[in-house]
Amino acid sequence: MVSRHLIGFLVFLILTVANFVDVPQVADLLGLFSWSNSTSAGTNISYSKELLLGTNSLVNLSQITEEEMKVGSLQAAATRWPFFVFLGGSMFCLLSSSICHLFSCHSRCLNIQLLRMDYVGITVMIITSFFPPIYYIFQCEPHWQLIYLGGITAMGMFTVMTLLTPSLSSGKFRAFRAMLFSSMGFFGIVPAIHGCIVNWSNPQRSITLAYESAMALSYIAGTFFYVSRIPERLKPGWFDLAGHSHQIFHVFVIMGALAHYGATLLLLQWRDRVGCNGTV
Protein backbone atom coordinates (compact mmCIF):
# COMPACT_ATOMS: atom_id res chain seq x y z
CA MET A 1 0.00 0.00 0.00
CA VAL A 2 2.85 2.36 0.84
CA SER A 3 4.31 1.87 -2.64
CA ARG A 4 1.09 3.10 -4.27
CA HIS A 5 1.13 6.29 -2.25
CA LEU A 6 4.82 6.88 -2.93
CA ILE A 7 4.31 6.29 -6.65
CA GLY A 8 1.49 8.83 -6.63
CA PHE A 9 3.66 11.29 -4.71
CA LEU A 10 6.54 10.84 -7.18
CA VAL A 11 4.18 11.33 -10.13
CA PHE A 12 2.98 14.66 -8.78
CA LEU A 13 6.51 15.64 -7.78
CA ILE A 14 7.65 15.09 -11.37
CA LEU A 15 4.67 17.08 -12.67
CA THR A 16 5.46 19.90 -10.25
CA VAL A 17 9.12 20.10 -11.26
CA ALA A 18 8.25 19.93 -14.96
CA ASN A 19 5.71 22.74 -14.67
CA PHE A 20 7.92 24.79 -12.37
CA VAL A 21 10.72 24.80 -14.93
CA ASP A 22 8.16 25.90 -17.52
CA VAL A 23 7.25 29.03 -15.52
CA PRO A 24 8.52 32.02 -17.58
CA GLN A 25 10.50 33.60 -14.73
CA VAL A 26 12.18 30.32 -13.83
CA ALA A 27 12.84 29.47 -17.47
CA ASP A 28 14.44 32.87 -18.00
CA LEU A 29 16.58 32.40 -14.90
CA LEU A 30 17.72 28.95 -15.98
CA GLY A 31 18.36 30.21 -19.50
CA LEU A 32 20.41 33.10 -18.17
CA PHE A 33 22.39 30.74 -15.95
CA SER A 34 23.18 28.34 -18.79
CA TRP A 35 23.99 31.23 -21.14
CA SER A 36 26.42 32.76 -18.68
CA ASN A 37 28.21 29.44 -18.27
CA SER A 38 28.53 28.86 -22.01
CA THR A 39 29.80 32.30 -23.05
CA SER A 40 33.35 33.49 -22.69
CA ALA A 41 34.55 36.21 -20.38
CA GLY A 42 35.27 38.52 -23.31
CA THR A 43 31.73 38.24 -24.61
CA ASN A 44 30.36 39.01 -21.18
CA ILE A 45 32.53 42.12 -20.93
CA SER A 46 31.42 43.30 -24.37
CA TYR A 47 27.77 42.76 -23.48
CA SER A 48 28.25 44.64 -20.22
CA LYS A 49 29.70 47.60 -22.11
CA GLU A 50 26.65 47.66 -24.36
CA LEU A 51 24.40 47.73 -21.33
CA LEU A 52 26.37 50.56 -19.75
CA LEU A 53 26.82 52.65 -22.90
CA GLY A 54 23.32 52.11 -24.27
CA THR A 55 24.09 51.08 -27.86
CA ASN A 56 21.52 50.99 -30.64
CA SER A 57 20.99 47.25 -30.21
CA LEU A 58 19.10 47.89 -27.00
CA VAL A 59 15.40 48.65 -27.00
CA ASN A 60 14.46 52.28 -26.57
CA LEU A 61 11.64 52.13 -24.04
CA SER A 62 10.47 55.63 -24.93
CA GLN A 63 9.57 54.43 -28.44
CA ILE A 64 7.18 51.72 -27.24
CA THR A 65 3.65 52.82 -27.98
CA GLU A 66 0.68 52.42 -25.70
CA GLU A 67 -0.87 49.86 -28.06
CA GLU A 68 2.28 47.73 -27.98
CA MET A 69 2.24 47.81 -24.22
CA LYS A 70 -1.39 46.66 -24.25
CA VAL A 71 -0.55 43.80 -26.60
CA GLY A 72 2.30 42.77 -24.32
CA SER A 73 0.03 42.82 -21.30
CA LEU A 74 -2.55 40.70 -23.13
CA GLN A 75 0.06 38.07 -23.89
CA ALA A 76 1.37 37.96 -20.33
CA ALA A 77 1.09 34.50 -18.83
CA ALA A 78 -1.49 33.92 -16.12
CA THR A 79 -0.21 33.59 -12.58
CA ARG A 80 0.82 30.06 -11.65
CA TRP A 81 0.54 29.99 -7.87
CA PRO A 82 -3.00 28.46 -7.75
CA PHE A 83 -1.76 25.66 -9.99
CA PHE A 84 1.17 24.93 -7.68
CA VAL A 85 -1.09 25.15 -4.62
CA PHE A 86 -3.05 22.23 -6.06
CA LEU A 87 0.10 20.25 -6.85
CA GLY A 88 1.49 20.95 -3.38
CA GLY A 89 -1.74 19.83 -1.73
CA SER A 90 -1.75 16.61 -3.74
CA MET A 91 1.84 15.84 -2.78
CA PHE A 92 1.12 16.57 0.88
CA CYS A 93 -1.86 14.21 0.82
CA LEU A 94 0.05 11.35 -0.80
CA LEU A 95 3.14 11.84 1.34
CA SER A 96 1.19 12.00 4.61
CA SER A 97 -0.71 8.89 3.59
CA SER A 98 2.56 7.10 2.83
CA ILE A 99 3.96 8.02 6.24
CA CYS A 100 0.72 6.94 7.91
CA HIS A 101 0.69 3.47 6.38
CA LEU A 102 4.42 3.01 6.83
CA PHE A 103 4.57 3.73 10.57
CA SER A 104 1.01 3.04 11.75
CA CYS A 105 2.01 -0.41 13.00
CA HIS A 106 4.44 1.11 15.53
CA SER A 107 1.93 1.54 18.36
CA ARG A 108 -1.74 2.23 18.90
CA CYS A 109 -1.09 5.80 20.03
CA LEU A 110 1.04 6.60 16.97
CA ASN A 111 -1.48 4.83 14.75
CA ILE A 112 -4.25 7.19 15.88
CA GLN A 113 -2.09 10.27 15.36
CA LEU A 114 -1.01 9.17 11.90
CA LEU A 115 -4.58 8.37 10.87
CA ARG A 116 -5.57 11.91 11.77
CA MET A 117 -2.68 13.21 9.69
CA ASP A 118 -3.88 11.03 6.81
CA TYR A 119 -7.39 12.52 7.05
CA VAL A 120 -5.95 16.04 7.23
CA GLY A 121 -3.93 15.31 4.09
CA ILE A 122 -7.07 14.27 2.23
CA THR A 123 -8.81 17.45 3.38
CA VAL A 124 -5.89 19.62 2.25
CA MET A 125 -5.94 17.96 -1.15
CA ILE A 126 -9.67 18.64 -1.54
CA ILE A 127 -9.26 22.29 -0.54
CA THR A 128 -6.29 22.97 -2.80
CA SER A 129 -7.95 21.26 -5.76
CA PHE A 130 -10.53 24.08 -5.76
CA PHE A 131 -7.95 26.84 -6.15
CA PRO A 132 -6.93 26.53 -9.85
CA PRO A 133 -10.39 26.21 -11.46
CA ILE A 134 -12.05 28.87 -9.31
CA TYR A 135 -9.13 31.26 -9.62
CA TYR A 136 -8.78 30.96 -13.41
CA ILE A 137 -12.49 30.81 -14.24
CA PHE A 138 -13.30 33.86 -12.11
CA GLN A 139 -9.97 35.64 -12.54
CA CYS A 140 -11.71 38.76 -13.83
CA GLU A 141 -14.31 38.68 -11.04
CA PRO A 142 -12.34 38.67 -7.78
CA HIS A 143 -15.43 38.80 -5.58
CA TRP A 144 -16.48 35.33 -6.78
CA GLN A 145 -12.97 34.08 -6.14
CA LEU A 146 -13.23 35.32 -2.57
CA ILE A 147 -16.69 33.82 -2.03
CA TYR A 148 -15.95 30.36 -3.40
CA LEU A 149 -12.38 29.98 -2.18
CA GLY A 150 -13.31 31.42 1.20
CA GLY A 151 -16.25 29.02 1.43
CA ILE A 152 -14.28 25.86 0.66
CA THR A 153 -11.43 26.96 2.94
CA ALA A 154 -13.86 27.52 5.82
CA MET A 155 -15.43 24.10 5.23
CA GLY A 156 -11.98 22.57 5.12
CA MET A 157 -10.91 24.18 8.38
CA PHE A 158 -14.07 22.91 10.07
CA THR A 159 -13.39 19.43 8.68
CA VAL A 160 -9.79 19.48 9.92
CA MET A 161 -10.84 20.55 13.43
CA THR A 162 -13.48 17.83 13.45
CA LEU A 163 -11.06 15.15 12.27
CA LEU A 164 -8.51 16.13 14.91
CA THR A 165 -11.08 15.50 17.64
CA PRO A 166 -10.02 12.22 19.31
CA SER A 167 -13.55 10.91 19.76
CA LEU A 168 -14.25 11.17 16.02
CA SER A 169 -11.17 9.22 14.92
CA SER A 170 -12.60 5.80 15.71
CA GLY A 171 -14.08 3.41 13.19
CA LYS A 172 -17.57 4.16 14.49
CA PHE A 173 -17.46 7.56 12.77
CA ARG A 174 -16.15 6.24 9.46
CA ALA A 175 -19.37 7.19 7.63
CA PHE A 176 -19.35 10.64 9.25
CA ARG A 177 -15.82 11.31 8.00
CA ALA A 178 -16.84 10.20 4.52
CA MET A 179 -19.81 12.58 4.71
CA LEU A 180 -17.48 15.48 5.53
CA PHE A 181 -15.27 14.71 2.54
CA SER A 182 -18.30 14.29 0.28
CA SER A 183 -19.85 17.57 1.40
CA MET A 184 -16.66 19.40 0.48
CA GLY A 185 -16.76 17.76 -2.94
CA PHE A 186 -20.43 18.58 -3.50
CA PHE A 187 -19.67 22.20 -2.65
CA GLY A 188 -17.93 22.37 -6.02
CA ILE A 189 -21.24 21.89 -7.85
CA VAL A 190 -22.20 25.54 -7.28
CA PRO A 191 -19.06 27.17 -8.78
CA ALA A 192 -19.05 24.51 -11.52
CA ILE A 193 -22.55 25.46 -12.68
CA HIS A 194 -21.69 29.15 -12.34
CA GLY A 195 -18.53 28.66 -14.38
CA CYS A 196 -20.40 26.81 -17.12
CA ILE A 197 -22.92 29.63 -17.42
CA VAL A 198 -20.37 32.43 -17.72
CA ASN A 199 -18.15 30.38 -20.06
CA TRP A 200 -20.86 28.78 -22.20
CA SER A 201 -19.22 30.00 -25.42
CA ASN A 202 -15.79 28.66 -24.48
CA PRO A 203 -14.93 25.90 -27.01
CA GLN A 204 -12.97 23.97 -24.37
CA ARG A 205 -15.88 23.92 -21.94
CA SER A 206 -16.96 20.38 -22.85
CA ILE A 207 -13.44 18.96 -22.58
CA THR A 208 -12.88 20.61 -19.21
CA LEU A 209 -16.23 19.32 -17.97
CA ALA A 210 -15.30 15.82 -19.11
CA TYR A 211 -12.08 15.95 -17.06
CA GLU A 212 -13.85 17.32 -14.00
CA SER A 213 -16.65 14.76 -14.34
CA ALA A 214 -14.04 12.01 -14.41
CA MET A 215 -12.53 13.48 -11.25
CA ALA A 216 -15.91 13.60 -9.50
CA LEU A 217 -16.78 10.04 -10.48
CA SER A 218 -13.38 8.83 -9.27
CA TYR A 219 -13.81 10.49 -5.89
CA ILE A 220 -17.38 9.22 -5.53
CA ALA A 221 -16.34 5.68 -6.44
CA GLY A 222 -13.43 5.84 -4.00
CA THR A 223 -15.71 7.07 -1.23
CA PHE A 224 -18.14 4.22 -1.96
CA PHE A 225 -15.42 1.60 -1.50
CA TYR A 226 -14.12 3.41 1.60
CA VAL A 227 -17.52 3.39 3.33
CA SER A 228 -18.82 0.01 2.15
CA ARG A 229 -15.55 -1.86 2.79
CA ILE A 230 -16.07 -3.90 -0.34
CA PRO A 231 -14.63 -6.43 -1.20
CA GLU A 232 -13.14 -7.51 2.15
CA ARG A 233 -16.56 -7.40 3.78
CA LEU A 234 -17.85 -9.97 1.30
CA LYS A 235 -14.83 -12.27 1.53
CA PRO A 236 -13.13 -11.81 4.91
CA GLY A 237 -9.46 -12.72 4.84
CA TRP A 238 -9.13 -12.80 1.06
CA PHE A 239 -8.00 -9.18 0.64
CA ASP A 240 -5.88 -8.60 3.73
CA LEU A 241 -2.70 -7.96 1.72
CA ALA A 242 -3.96 -6.60 -1.58
CA GLY A 243 -7.19 -5.48 -3.18
CA HIS A 244 -9.03 -4.25 -0.09
CA SER A 245 -11.22 -1.15 -0.01
CA HIS A 246 -8.64 1.29 1.35
CA GLN A 247 -6.23 0.50 -1.47
CA ILE A 248 -9.00 0.87 -4.04
CA PHE A 249 -9.97 4.17 -2.42
CA HIS A 250 -6.48 5.61 -2.87
CA VAL A 251 -6.25 4.39 -6.47
CA PHE A 252 -9.43 6.31 -7.28
CA VAL A 253 -8.10 9.38 -5.44
CA ILE A 254 -4.96 9.41 -7.59
CA MET A 255 -7.02 8.91 -10.76
CA GLY A 256 -9.29 11.79 -9.77
CA ALA A 257 -6.33 14.04 -9.01
CA LEU A 258 -4.77 13.30 -12.41
CA ALA A 259 -8.07 14.06 -14.15
CA HIS A 260 -8.25 17.35 -12.26
CA TYR A 261 -4.67 18.08 -13.30
CA GLY A 262 -5.70 17.73 -16.95
CA ALA A 263 -8.64 20.10 -16.48
CA THR A 264 -6.42 22.62 -14.70
CA LEU A 265 -3.93 22.62 -17.57
CA LEU A 266 -6.73 23.42 -20.02
CA LEU A 267 -7.97 26.29 -17.85
CA LEU A 268 -4.46 27.65 -17.45
CA GLN A 269 -3.75 27.56 -21.18
CA TRP A 270 -7.09 29.22 -21.90
CA ARG A 271 -6.44 32.02 -19.41
CA ASP A 272 -2.95 32.52 -20.88
CA ARG A 273 -4.54 33.17 -24.28
CA VAL A 274 -7.60 35.15 -23.25
CA GLY A 275 -6.58 37.06 -20.15
CA CYS A 276 -9.38 39.30 -18.92
CA ASN A 277 -10.21 40.67 -22.36
CA GLY A 278 -12.09 37.71 -23.75
CA THR A 279 -14.97 35.62 -22.54
CA VAL A 280 -14.72 35.26 -18.80
Lowest mean pLDDT among 86-100, 127-141, 188-202: 188-202
Percent of the chain whose pLDDT exceeds 70: 76
Cα separation, 76 vs 170, in Å, equals 50
pLDDT of residue 92: 93
What's the pLDDT score for residue 237?
Answer: 79
| Mean of pLDDT values over 121-144 | 91
Tens-place pLDDT, residues 227-278: 788 888 888 878 777 777 877 888 888 888 899 999 999 988 888 888 776 4
Helices 142-163, 174-187: crossing angle, 10 deg rounding: 180
- The rounded mean pLDDT for the chain is 77
CA-based max dimension of the chain: 81
**Is 106 marked within a binding site?**
no
Residue 254: count of CB within 10 angstroms of its CB: 21
Residue 202, phi then psi, degrees to nearest 5: -70, 120
- Split at pLDDT 50, 70, 90, the class of 129 is very high
Compute the distance between CA of residue 208 and CA of residue 91 in angstroms, rounded to an integer: 23
Residue pLDDT, tens place only, 208-230: 888 888 888 888 888 788 778 88
Q: What is the pTM of this model?
A: 0.74
Between 36 and 258, the higher pLDDT residue: 258
pLDDT tens sequence across 144-190: 999 999 999 999 998 888 888 877 766 677 778 778 878 888 888 89
Most confident of 3-17, 18-32, 134-148, 224-238: 134-148
194 is an annotated ligand-binding site residue: no
Of all residues in the chain, what percent carry a pLDDT higher than 90?
Answer: 18
Mean pLDDT of 132-147: 92
Residue 73 has pLDDT above 70, yes or no: no
Taking only Cα atoms into account, the Rg of the chain, rounded to an integer number of angstroms, comes to: 24
CA distance 6 to 4: 5
CATH number, span 1-18+78-273: 1.20.1070
| CA–CA gap between residue 92 and residue 90 (Å, rounded) | 5
Q: Render 114-152 in DSSP notation, one character per residue.
A: HHHHHHHHHHHHHHHHHHHHHHHHTTT-HHHHHHHHHHH
Q: Minimal CA–CA distance to 80: which of 22, 39, 141?
A: 22
Q: Please give the pLDDT value at position 63.
A: 45
Q: Is 101 annotated as a binding residue?
A: yes
Average pLDDT over residues 184-208: 84
Report, as an integer, the average pLDDT of 124-150: 92
Stretch 88-99: mean pLDDT, rounded? 90
Distance CA 37, CA 30 (A): 11
* Structural contact between residues 248 and 222, judged by C-beta atoms closer than 8 angstroms: yes
Which of 151, 88, 84, 96 shows the shortest CA–CA distance to 120? 96
The predicted pLDDT at position 270 comes to: 87
The pLDDT of residue 41 is above 50: no
The CB density around residue 90, as the number of other CB atoms within 10 Å, is 28
pLDDT for position 59: 40
Task: Return the pLDDT at 273.
Answer: 85
Distance CA 276, CA 31 (A): 29
The whole-number pLDDT of residue 212 equals: 86
* CA atoms of 191 and 134, how far apart (whole Å): 7
